[in-house]
Amino acid sequence: MTRRTGAGPKPSAGRPPGSTTDQRLLDSRGDSNWVHTDPWRVLKIQAEFVEGFNDLAEIGPAISVFGSARISATHPAYAIGEKVGSGLARAGFTVITGGGPGAMEAANKGATEAGGESIGLGIELPWEVKLNDYVTFGLNFRYFFVRKMMFVKYSQGYIVLPGGLGTLDELFEAMTLAQTLKITQFPIVLMGVEHWSGLLDWMRGSMLEDARIKQSDIDMLTLTDDVDEAVALMVAARERHG
């Protein structure tokens, strides 16, 4: 695979500062001409799906690694991300991240330096303009929902490092899809006992206690600080399900 830094959306003259393709699609207060432009946007959305399916179809077994874009290289989670990326690569997995800085960069770095495939699925954002330097193959997306489908379709599991709203979004989408059997046998590992324990305690004490979720929903998650355990869980799932 080769790195494709030029793929995907580029700034365009005439767009409002900070505007993104997703924003223009979803903003009902925008130009009243949307009735005529939205049907044509479907073709752009279709093109993103086609490109993603075509370019990722033969990547082999892969694991997505998520985490904060805002951590520095001196943050403890960065070192964990490197170890996760390296461990997955050595176990024969392709590593997929969002291609950004922080924890995503760390996982890509670990995979690349271990000699593995290191994929970045970027997204058009006002403050992120390029994929990190450790991506060996990259795709850039305009639409969040297309990009999120690629993570799910081409990953055999998720490893989730400490993160913010985007990380929570990716975590809970995977849990929802597994709960509703849209995806099956999908291991999800939360890396960082201190970071994630409060969330799990709240889920047990509020959502589970009130019967809004089941114990089996929480059982989808494995909480650990042990990178070897996280990688071993992904290997075991691969061996069970091919």
Q: What residue spans define the domains of the chain? A: 36-193+221-241
No. of helices (H) and no. of strands (E), the chain: 9, 7
The whole-number pLDDT of residue 1 equals 39
pTM: 0.86
Query: Can you read off the two tokens belonging to residue 77?
Result: 């989670």
Q: How many residues does the chain have?
A: 242
Quote the pLDDT of residue 9.
44
Residues of the chain with pLDDT under 50: 1-3, 5-15
Plot region of 99 (φ>0 → left; ψ -120 to 50 → alpha; else → beta): left
CATH 3.40.50.450 fits 36-193+221-241, yes or no: yes
Residues paired with residue 66 on neighbouring β-strands, in sequence order:
160
Show the tokens assigned to 187. Answer: 């291991």
- In this predicted model, what pLDDT tens digit does every residue of 46-69 receive, in sequence order? 999 999 999 999 999 999 999 999
C-alpha to C-alpha distance for 100 and 132, rounded to whole angstroms = 6
Q: Which of 107, 68, 69 is nearest to 89 (CA)?
A: 107
Amino acid 125: pLDDT: 82
Burial class from Cβ neighbours inside 10 Å (0-12, 13-18, 19+) for residue 12 reads: exposed
Q: Give residue 33's pLDDT.
A: 58
Strand partners, 160: 66, 190
**pLDDT value at position 59?**
95
